[in-house]
């Protein structure tokens, strides 16, 4: 039961709802559980509800960690 997808908030709607966009596909979801979501934030959507927000700095840090692997690999003789 864990299928959850990161999508970008493009519009806030009344009643704790929002429209999110994933590559041009839009869906109306609840933001009851992430009530501080703002337009431009990326939220994780699960069964029609936003359950968490992506921290862009942490995301970048994680990707850099993967990439660091690559640099170290490349540097090895």
Partner 1 sequence: MTTKKNYLRPIDFKHGHIDMTHGAGGRAAAQLVNELFARAFDNEYLNQGHDGALLPFPTGGRLVMATDGHVISPLFFPGGDIGCLSVHGTVNDVAMSGAKPLYLAASFILEEGFALADLKRIVESMAAAARDAGVPIVTGDTKVVEKGKGDGVFISTTGVGVVPDGLCIDGRQARVGDVILVSGTMGEHGVAVMSLRESLEFETAIESDTAALHTLVQAMLQALPDPGALHVLRDPTRGGLATTLNEIATQSQVGMAIEEALIPVLPQVEAACELLGLDPLYVANEGKLIAICAPEVADTLLAAMRAHPLGQGAQRIGTVTQDAHCFVQMSTRFGGRRVVDWLSGEQLPRIC
Partner 2 sequence: MKYIDEFRDGDGARHIAAKIAAEVRTDLSYNFMEFCGGHTHAISRYGIADMLPANVRMIHGPGCPVCVLPIGRVDLAIRLALERGVMLCTYGDTMRVPASDNLSLIKAKARGADIRMVYSASDALKLAEQNPEREVVFFAIGFETTTPPTALVIRDAAARAVKNFSVLCCHVLTPSAITHILESAEVRQLGTVPIDGFIGPAHVSIIIGSQPYEHFAEEYRKPVVITGFEPLDVMQGILMLVRQVNAGQAVVENEFSRVVTRDGNLAAQNLVSQVFELRESFEWRGLGEVPYSALKIRPAFAEWDAERKFDLHYASVPDHKQCECGAILRGVKRPQDCKLFGTVCTPESPMGSCMVSNEGACAAHYSYGRFRDIAVVAASASA
List the interface residues with partner 1, window 14-33 (CB under 8 A): 22-28
Tell me the CA distances in angstroms from 2 to 32, 44, 48, 66, 69, one per residue in order. Answer: 19, 11, 12, 24, 28
Asked if residue 70 binds partner 2 (CB under 8 A), the reply is yes
Asked if residue 22 binds partner 2 (CB under 8 A), the reply is yes
- 13, 56 in Cβ contact below 8 A? no
List the interface residues with partner 2, window 23-42 (CB under 8 A): 23, 30, 32-35, 42
Name the one residue in this structure whose structure tokens are 């966009």: 21
* String marking each residue 27-66 x if it binds partner 1 according to CB under 8 A: xx----------------x-x-------------------
- Tell me how far, at minimum, the Cβ of 24 lies from partner 1, in Å: 5
- 40, 58 in Cβ contact below 8 A? no
């Amino acid at each position: 039961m864990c299928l959850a997808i990161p999508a970008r908030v493009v519009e806030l709607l009344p009643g704790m709802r929002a429209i999110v966009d994933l590559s041009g596909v839009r869906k109306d979801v609840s933001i009851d559980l992430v009530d501080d979501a703002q337009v431009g934030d990326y939220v994780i959507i699960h069964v029609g509800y936003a359950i968490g927000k992506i921290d862009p700095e942490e995301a970048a840090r994680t990707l850099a960690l993967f990439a660091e692997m690559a640099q170290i690999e490349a540097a090895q003789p």
